[in-house]
Amino acid sequence: MKINSRASASAAVVLLGGAMLLSACTKAEDNGTPGTNASAGAQVVASTGATGPGCTLQSYGGEKLDLKNAIVGFSQSEKEANPFRIAETQSIKDEAAKIGVKQLLVTNAQSQLSKQISDIQDMLNQGAQFLIVAPLNSDGLEPALAAAAAKKVPVLTIDRKVNASPCKDYLAFLGSNFVEQGKRAADAMVKATGGKGKVAILLGSSGNNVTTDRTNGFVDQIKATAPGIEIVAQQTGEFSREKGQSVMEQLLLSKPEITAVYAENDEMALGAVTAIKGRGKKPGTDIKIVSIDGTANAVKAIVDGTINAVIESNPRFGPLAFATAAKFYGGESIPANVIISDREYDPANAASSLSSAY
pLDDT of residue 9: 36
pLDDT of residue 3: 67
DSSP state string for 126-158? TT---EEE--SSSSS-HHHHHHHHHTT--EEEE
- Whether residue 319 lies inside any domain: the answer is yes
**Same domain, yes or no, for 277 and 320?**
no
CA distances from 104 to 10, 86, 280 (A): 10, 16, 49
**Same domain, yes or no, for 320 and 306?**
no
Examine the fold and report which residue of 294, 313, 332 is the final residue of a domain before the chain moves on. Answer: 313
Sequence-separated (6 or more) residues with CB below 8 Å from residue 340 = 35, 43, 44, 45, 46, 174, 175, 176, 314, 320
**Same domain, yes or no, for 217 and 68?**
no
**302-356 pLDDT, tens digit each:** 999 999 999 999 999 999 999 999 999 999 999 999 999 999 999 999 999 999 9
The CATH number for 235's domain is 3.40.50.2300
- Whether residue 130 lies inside any domain: the answer is yes
**Same domain, yes or no, for 167 and 199?**
no
- Domain that includes residue 99, residue range: 2-175+315-342
Give dist(CA 289, CA 279) in Å, integer. Answer: 15
Q: How many domains does the chain have?
A: 2
CA distances from 3 to 19, 94, 172, 229 (A): 18, 11, 25, 50
**Same domain, yes or no, for 283 and 327?**
no
Beta carbons of 234 and 262 less than 8 angstroms apart: no
**298-313 pLDDT, tens digit each:** 999 999 999 999 999 9
pTM of the full predicted structure?
0.88
pLDDT of residue 4: 62
pLDDT of residue 127: 82
**Same domain, yes or no, for 151 and 185?**
no
pLDDT per residue as tens, the chain (358 positions):
766 654 433 333 333 333 333 333 333 333 333 333 444 578 888 777 644 568 999 999 888 999 998 888 898 999 888 899 999 999 999 999 999 988 888 899 999 999 999 999 998 888 888 899 999 999 999 999 999 999 888 999 999 999 999 999 999 999 999 999 999 999 999 999 999 999 999 999 998 999 999 999 999 999 999 999 999 999 999 999 999 999 999 999 999 999 999 999 999 999 999 999 999 999 999 999 999 999 999 999 999 999 999 999 999 999 999 999 999 999 999 999 999 999 999 999 999 999 999 9
Give dist(CA 261, CA 282) in Å, integer. Answer: 13
